[in-house]
Amino acid sequence: MHDDKPTPTPPRLAFYGLGQYGLEAVRISAERGWPIAAAYNRAGPKVGRDLGELAGLGRPLGVTVEDCEHADFSRAGADIAIVAQTDHLAQNLTAYRRLLSAGMNVVCHASEAYQPWDTDAATATQIDALARQHGVTFTGTGIWDFSRVWSGILMLGAATQIGALHHRTVTDIDTFTPQVAQRYFGLGMTQAAFADLRFDGGLYRLPAIMVLKALGLSIDQTTQSATPVLSDRAVHCHVLDRMLAPGIVLGALIQATTTTREGLTATSHIHIGLLPEGETEHMAWHFEGRPRSAIRVDRADTVHMSSACLVNRVRDVVAAEPGIRTILELGPMRPPQDLPR
Ligand SMILES: NC(=O)c1ccc[n+]([C@@H]2O[C@H](COP(=O)([O-])OP(=O)(O)OC[C@H]3O[C@@H](n4cnc5c(N)ncnc54)[C@H](OP(=O)(O)O)[C@@H]3O)[C@@H](O)[C@H]2O)c1
């Protein structure tokens, strides 16, 4: 049987922030044959280079990386911009303002962007107003969309009784840049320095909050603690490219408990560190209730998966109503229909 569905028009893309995730999204988009209209980065050696060469495609894309301070965004001609810069809405706001004001939808990789109203309501108000004013949509996504948030919601699809929810994850710290691994998870620090680390805003409570919200519940409060991941023998750290002595911090174990006004609780046990031998990255949920079930996503190739979530959400974001639209509003990720065959 022939399926005569017309191939949907590919979206025209812009990229803002060309680090490991931004460039992986460039490679995925280029392979899919989606047109790339513009690329922006802060000043430095990336500016002025051809995007295809910068992304290691081995061929030019005919798109020159522009300095975001001096670019004319109104000339981009893109439907949507993929932003992969910092984790914080307030730090990214200038970028959002430039892109949304030029009539581009925005899909962003900042962890705070998954739930802007919960993470930074003041900045969310500004983003939402800008997006509505210009008739475009802002959405935050990344690997959690598929592996932590929608996996948890799908598990509950067959539930008839729901008690406490439990989320356990293991993430390989070697997938982060050295700066992020050190600053946010204490990699390579002494235990004394780890104790002084200001733990960042409780971003890892977000997946549980989102799953509870999908159940129609109201969040009451969240508590979170972080302890260092340690080893009693020296281990090689790929991301820092050196041996770490016994007792030096290999990452963080973040534990959070979120309660709802309706009395349901979700616990999160998030291990982000050098993986013990034989361990692989995974995200898992189980719940107390009926029928007993659990769901586990095993993952490899984390940078590719997170960037793929950015690209695979593009059509949903372009089609959504103006304003901030979270992945909960967009629904579960669907398989892309236009992969190269
Ligand atoms: N949503 C998720 O599920 C998820 C998962 C993993 C990571 N993340 C987040 O994704 C973000 C990108 O990660 P990455 O590994 O691609 O980082 P990266 O390799 O360091 O790249 C960051 C890019 O943004 C630019 N940049 C960084 N800070 C900036 C600032 N303050 N102002 C303007 N431009 C800035 C960098 O410019 P230069 O080239 O000049 O340095 C670079 O192009 C991080 O915040 C990370 O925590 C999100």
Res 340: pLDDT: 74
Place of tokens 């940078």: 303
Res 5: pLDDT: 65
pLDDT digits (tens, 9 = 90+) for 121-159: 999 999 999 999 999 999 999 999 999 999 999 999 999
* Ligand 1 pocket test target in 108, 109, 114, 327 with most atoms within 8 Å of CB: 109
110 neighbors 86 (Cβ within 8 angstroms): yes
CA of 140 to the centre of ligand 1 (A): 14
Asked if omega into 291 is within 30° of 0 (cis), the reply is yes
pLDDT at 231 over 60: yes
User: Which of 17, 22, 178 is closest to 92 using CA atoms?
Assistant: 17
Q: What is the position in ligand 1's atom list of the atom closest to the CA of 140?
A: 1
Q: Is the CB of 142 under 6 A from ligand 1?
A: yes
CA of 142 to the centre of ligand 1 (A): 12
Q: What is the position in ligand 1's atom list of the atom closest to the CA of 108?
A: 1
Q: Is the CB of 17 under 6 A from ligand 1?
A: yes
Mean pLDDT throughout 172-197? 90
Instruction: Give the Cβ contact number of residue 243 at 10 Å.
Output: 10
pLDDT at 8 over 90: no
CA of 294 to the centre of ligand 1 (A): 33
Q: What is the position in ligand 1's atom list of the atom closest to the CA of 184?
A: 47
pTM over 0.85: yes
Report in angstroms the alpha-carbon separations of 270 from 97, 168, 207. Answer: 33, 6, 11
pLDDT digits (tens, 9 = 90+) for 272-325: 999 888 889 999 999 999 999 999 999 888 899 999 999 999 999 999 999 999
Pull the structure tokens for residue 251: 């990452």
Q: Is the CB of 316 under 6 A from ligand 1?
A: no
Q: What is the position in ligand 1's atom list of the atom closest to the CA of 44?
A: 40
Can you tell me the distance from the alpha carbon of 192 to that of 306, in angstroms, rounded to the nearest whole number? 33
Q: What is the position in ligand 1's atom list of the atom closest to the CA of 91?
A: 31
Instruction: Give the Cβ contact number of residue 20 at 10 Å.
Output: 14
Angle at 188 between CA 20 and CA 256, to 5 degrees: 80
Can you tell me the distance from the alpha carbon of 138 to that of 50, in angstroms, rounded to the nearest whole number? 27
CA of 295 to the centre of ligand 1 (A): 30
Can you tell me the distance from the alpha carbon of 305 to that of 27, in angstroms, rounded to the nearest whole number? 12
